[in-house]
Amino acid sequence: TARFSVIGGEQAATAGRLVIAGGGVSRDNAALYRSVLDARSGSGPICVIATASTNREGAQGSIDGSVATFERHGGAGTAQGVLMAVDYTEPASDPAVAARLRQCSGFYFTGGVQSRTMTVLRPGGTNTPALDAILQRHREGAVVGGSSAGAAIMSDPMISGGSTTTSLARGVRRASFADADDDDTSGGVAIMPGIGFLPNALVDQHFLARGRIGRLIAAVLDTPEFDLGFGVDENTALVVDGDIVHPVGASGVV
């Protein structure tokens, strides 16, 4: 089983860097945003994906905020949005959108509810052309970042919800898209398919701020696909370069 080394620097990897943020990221967190910007591949923009948002309008608002923040740290033209949402799924199957995604130097998934991203990009468990384009660019070296729901999708399967107080008693439940909600408090840890940019560890977010250590322990114990989990706190990211990992930001990673 692959393991990770925790160090103070970075090491180049064939696949692109992952920047897995625990949510609550301040627009002033230069170290976190530079971790994304410094790992770009090619001359294209960072493409912001807001598929975890409630609807098309919310996705556009999330895109606008993230693009402005990236441009604050990287200059004009650094980032642009690619609008897809649960009520606007057509672009995920559009060859022109897939071609546009193949020009991106990296990707950044914003927060919301992680199951919505799967509904848009992997409906019924089948990759859309948009997701295939993103995965291709990541294999070629493009960085992939994500915050909150954008961090959860890094695992496959992923944590999609569950109570932090009942998880140790009830363990894991395999969730459907219909009942997947990261703030759900009705039972144990909800697990469902994710995208899986990070192939050998489970990810949880808002970790220390929301006391999710019990949730992640239960998930690691009861999810046979993984025996390793990373809990990323708010305003912090786990940076993954191949098998080398290190935290950046205001807090820490468990």
- The 10s digit of each residue's pLDDT in 63-115 is 999 999 999 999 999 999 999 999 999 999 999 999 999 999 999 999 999 99
pLDDT band (50, 70, 90) for residue 3? low
- Assign 3-state DSSP to the chain and report helix, strand, coil percentages, each to 5: 30, 20, 45
- The 10s digit of each residue's pLDDT in 10-19 is 444 579 999 9
pLDDT of residue 177: 57
pLDDT of residue 11: 44
Tracing tokens 């395999």 back to the chain, one arrives at 174
Q: Which of 156, 185, 155, 62 is nearest to 112 (CA)?
A: 62
- The 10s digit of each residue's pLDDT in 114-145 is 999 999 999 999 999 999 999 999 999 999 99
Task: Provide Rg for the chain, Cα atoms.
Answer: 17
> CA 175, CA 144: separation in Å to the nearest integer?
25
Give me the percent of the chain exceeding a pLDDT of 90.
Answer: 83
Residue 229 belongs to what H/E stretch?
A: strand 229-232
> CA 207, CA 247: separation in Å to the nearest integer?
13
Positive or negative, the Cα torsion across 153, 4, 189, 20?
A: negative
Which ranges constitute the DSSP H helices of the chain? 30-37, 56-74, 95-101, 114-121, 129-140, 149-152, 167-170, 213-222
Average predicted confidence (pLDDT) for the chain: 92
> CA 219, CA 30: separation in Å to the nearest integer?
32
Tracing tokens 């009830």 back to the chain, one arrives at 170
- The 10s digit of each residue's pLDDT in 161-215 is 988 888 888 889 887 654 455 555 566 899 999 999 999 999 999 999 999 999 9
pLDDT of residue 1: 42
Residue 29: partners with Cβ closer than 8 Å, 6 or more residues away = 235, 249, 250
pLDDT of residue 12: 43
pLDDT of residue 188: 82
Helices (H) and strands (E) in the chain, counts: 8, 13
pLDDT of residue 168: 84
pTM over 0.85: yes
Q: Which one has a higher pLDDT value, 178 or 46?
A: 46
- The 10s digit of each residue's pLDDT in 221-252 is 999 999 999 999 999 999 999 999 999 999 99
- The 10s digit of each residue's pLDDT in 85-94 is 999 999 999 9
